[in-house]
Structures are given as C-alpha cells and as structure tokens.
Chains A and B, each alone.
Chain A
C-alpha cells in the first residue's frame, strides 16, 4: 500500500490519540515530499547510505511515509571491538530523514545521538539482535528546541538474545515516537528504560509496543518523565502476549513528576494477554516532588530550587540504573547531567 492510499489516522486510534498525524507531517498531509538524508557519523567518521530500504512490512502510515520520502538506508553492524559505538545523526537542513538498520550478530553496544537544528527529522531505526547476543543500545535526542520529530523503531529479538535499551529524550518541540519490539524467539529479553524531560512547551509522545511471540520471553519497560512549564508527556504502552506463550514475564511502569500547574502527563499502559501461564503487570503514577525529600535536602544546605533540581535529576538517572553496560549507562547519565548543569 502506498502512502496516499492509506486513510489518515484519526484520534480514535490508540496510537494517534494525543498527537495527530497532521501535526507531525512535515508539509501537508496529502503530499510525500522528497526529503534529504541526514548526516551520519560513525565514531566521528562520516558514512554514506549504503543500501536501499525495502518497504516496511508493517502497514503503518509513519513507516510507509518515511520510506517513500527517502528510501536510502545506513546499515550498521555492531561489533564488540570498540567499547561504545557512537552513531551521530545530525542535520541543519530544513527537513531530513535517516534510516538505520542495525545488525547485531555479536554482543556489543551502540549509542545513537540526534543533534542539529533541522526543523523536521524523520528517523526509522530497525534492528535485529541475533541468537545469543546482547545489544546495549542508548539513544539521546538532543535536537534543537524548535524541531518536530517523527521516529519509528522496529526491533526483533531472536533466541536467547538480550536488548537493553536506554533513551534520553530532551530535544525537539513536538515529538512522536513509535517504538516496537518483537520478542520472536524463546528466552529473548528486553529491558527498556526511557527518561523524558518536557520543559517549556515541549510535547513528547512515546508509543511503545512490546510483542511476546514466543514463550519464556521477558520484557521490562520503565518510562520516567519530568514535566514542567506547559510541557506535555504522553506514554502509551501496548504489551501483547500471543497465544501459547507460557512462561512470559512482562511489566511496564510509567512514572511522571509534575513540576508546574500547567504541565500535563498522560500515561496509558495497555495489556493484551492471550496465554494463561504468564506474568504481566502494568502501572502508572503521577505526582509532584515529595515535600519531605525537599525538606531533607534543604536541611543539608540545598536551596529549594537546587533541592528540587537534584531530586528531578536523580529521578531520571535512576531510570538508567538497570542498564548493565557501563558505557551506555554513563553516556546517558552524562547527557542528562549536562542538561541540568
């Protein structure tokens, strides 16, 4: 199906309830403009797109739009030779697109950094973690404050593989993230930890789907968000466990800190469980900063503002505590600390 044949999604759909397609599309919704590729550097060396991307097997408007607007693709192979592979995607053009396909046939790590002053960035990351491999993946969205971002990710995990995933979302002004992970084979495992800061008028929409297609697979999703100003955080999670997938253990938690009267946070975890012998849990919590935490820090000489900033920073840092890979964890924490300093 082509983009123009796809009905424009409306807000009755779970995926598009809070961020309409028209606000994410770079021009007008009845067009598919040709959009230039973003610059990609791999450990500080610029690399060119080396493949043509095939049409996505998922009939989703975002993915098909991104493919039709720019069909080039960068193939990235993760190896275990360097401690942390850093892939920087940047653009100062008006609009840019980047497609990355990650092949992980040996255990390793990959850090993706988004930067630049582009007005609109489309990003599609696909990846496969091969049998018995562990991929530690970190993503820092540090794009300029006015940018609109459409980002899709599709991950596939094979037998005995592990994807430990961390993301810090602080860049851009209107962001739509659609991240889907399929645990295709037995004993695969996903830990996904996402920290979001919605300050100013930032609008950050994370839709996260986790599909357990095989028994004895594990997933853990933790989204922590700090919302201030008139910022708006949206987290919609869809956790699906297919039939005959006994022994799965899955959980998702959304936590929001509301730091102003005008900030908004909406968290909607959803479960679809079609197997009997599984563990599946979900939860969401929103609150302001605990006054007893502030009092405790103030009694140690911190001003109220400093105490609140430290609590918020800690709240977000603790989101990354479960990432075992030291380089990825430290990179994410470093980017977060830099934001608060």
Chain B
C-alpha cells in the first residue's frame, strides 16, 4: 500500500483577514498525480504557497500532515529539506548567482549532505540532456533575463535534481508553447516514481501529456467536485458555471 504523503484536513487560510481557502480536504499518496483546476482567484496558488510555508498566509483552521507529521511550524527551508518542492508560477530572479552554483547548493541543502562534484555533474548533465538544455545555461544568473519558457525549464531541472517526495506545480504550463510543455511533462515523468504531484493548471493540454489520477475542481477555496481525468475534459469543455448551479 502506498504511503500517504500529504493529508490536508478541513484547511482554512486567510491573507490579511481575507479568507482564501475555506475547508479543503485532500490526500495524496506516493506516485499519485492530482490536478487542481479552477478560475482565477479560486485559491489554487494560495494552496501551493501555504503548503510550502509562505509567511504571508495564515492557517486559521485545520491541519496539514506531511508524511504523517504536522508541518505548520516548519519553516520554508525545513519543508524543502523534508522533500517538498514548489515549482513557481513566477520564479524570482537572483542576479549575480549563477545557475550552476545555485543548483549545487540547492542539492546539498535538500539532500542534507555535500554531494560529490563529479556525482553532481553527472546527474546534472543527464537531467539537462533530457530537458534539451544548453550547458551555457549554468553560467547565467538565476532567472535573470530568462524568457518564460527558460524559467519553467529551470524549474523542471531543479525538480529532477532535487527528487522531491511531494512536488507542487503552480501553473507551470502557463504561457508555454507546445515544445516547452512537452519538456514540463518530461520533467514530471522523469522525476522519481514515488513522488506525489499536485499540478495546478488552467488547461487540459498538460493533462493530455501527463494523465492525472485525480482531478479536483476548486471554487471559492474548496473542492466542489473531484473525479478522474474525464473531469478535466468536462471543465475544459463546459467551464465552471455548471458546478455552481
């Protein structure tokens, strides 16, 4: 039986007094892919950031269990070191910090050990080859002057190297052309088999490439309908109004 990686119970979240998530339940087991779809402002990205511990969000009720442990008190970096990964919708740029250095330090941080340079280089080269990335990328500054596609590609590269137990993908497919989208799909499929995924998206086209086990429709901070891949197709075709009727 697969391990329960994430167990969210009756979660309520506010930002500066405004309720964003209103009683959300979700269980993700190892190897499962869950997709969340919903209109803008439904609370999808908030959920991803809350799970990763963004300090702007306040949990007012409910609990989040990650591999059986409450993580409310975990700092962001402790969640990362415990195996949680967030692929950002808008990754921050860090001028002056080279991608190669950043990746090496991130891997050391998350694996909690100093990975040997040769071993890291081998893993890095293999992952970059799979994503069709040029080695010149490594000497550029993190996300500084990157196109939208390059940013998402770097997020996927990080995910493959960090081998998370739980990967949260916040609209990683937004604004990507079909080739870049295929690379995102590759990033998901090339990451560890036992990784649990929470994929936030507006579109079916990513789910055509990576079939989810579960799809959740989110309205006003809670799941109003859950189902299999067919739900995504229906949402794409009919929108969300029928769920409110």
Contact surface of A with B, Cβ cutoff 8 Å: 290-293, 295-304, 307, 310-311, 313-319, 321
Contact call A299/B52, Cβ cutoff below 8 A: yes
> What total of A-B pairs shows CB separation below 8 Å?
75
Contact call A296/B88, Cβ cutoff below 8 A: yes
Contact call A313/B110, Cβ cutoff below 8 A: no
**Can you name 11 A-B pairs with beta carbons within 8 Å?**
A291-B55, A296-B91, A299-B79, A299-B85, A300-B80, A301-B109, A302-B106, A302-B109, A304-B75, A310-B94, A314-B142
Q: How far does the Cβ of A166 sit from chain B's closest Cβ, in whole Å?
A: 14
Question: Which residue of chain A has the shortest Cβ distance to B112 in the bound complex?
Answer: A301
Q: How far does the Cβ of A211 sit from chain B's closest Cβ, in whole Å?
A: 30
Contact call B77/A293, Cβ cutoff below 8 A: no
Contact call B96/A300, Cβ cutoff below 8 A: no
Name the prevailing secondary structure of the B interface residues.
mixed
Contact call A311/B86, Cβ cutoff below 8 A: no
Given A298-B77, A298-B80, is A293 in contact with B110 using a C-beta cutoff of 8 Å? Answer: no
Question: Which residue of chain A has the shortest Cβ distance to B90 in the bound complex?
Answer: A292
Whether B97 sits at the interface, judged by CB under 8 Å, is yes
In whole angstroms, what is the CA distance A290 to B91 when docked?
13
In whole angstroms, what is the CA distance A311 to B105 when docked?
13
Contact call B96/A317, Cβ cutoff below 8 A: yes
Contact of B80 among A299, A314, A318 (CB under 8 A): A299
Most buried by A among B52, B93, B94: B94
Q: How far does the Cβ of A221 sit from chain B's closest Cβ, in whole Å?
A: 18
Q: How far does the Cβ of B84 sit from chain A's closest Cβ, in whole Å?
A: 8
Given contacts A295-B76, A301-B77, 9 further A-B contacts (CB under 8 A): A293-B92, A296-B92, A297-B94, A301-B109, A310-B105, A314-B95, A317-B97, A319-B96, A321-B141
Residues B5-38 near A (CB distance < 8 A): none
Question: Which residue of chain B has the shortest Cβ distance to A298 in the bound complex?
Answer: B76
For A303, the chain B residues whose CB sits under 8 A away are 75, 77
For A321, the chain B residues whose CB sits under 8 A away are 96, 141
Question: Which residue of chain B has the shortest Cβ distance to A316 in the bound complex?
Answer: B96
Q: How far does the Cβ of B217 sit from chain A's closest Cβ, in whole Å?
A: 27
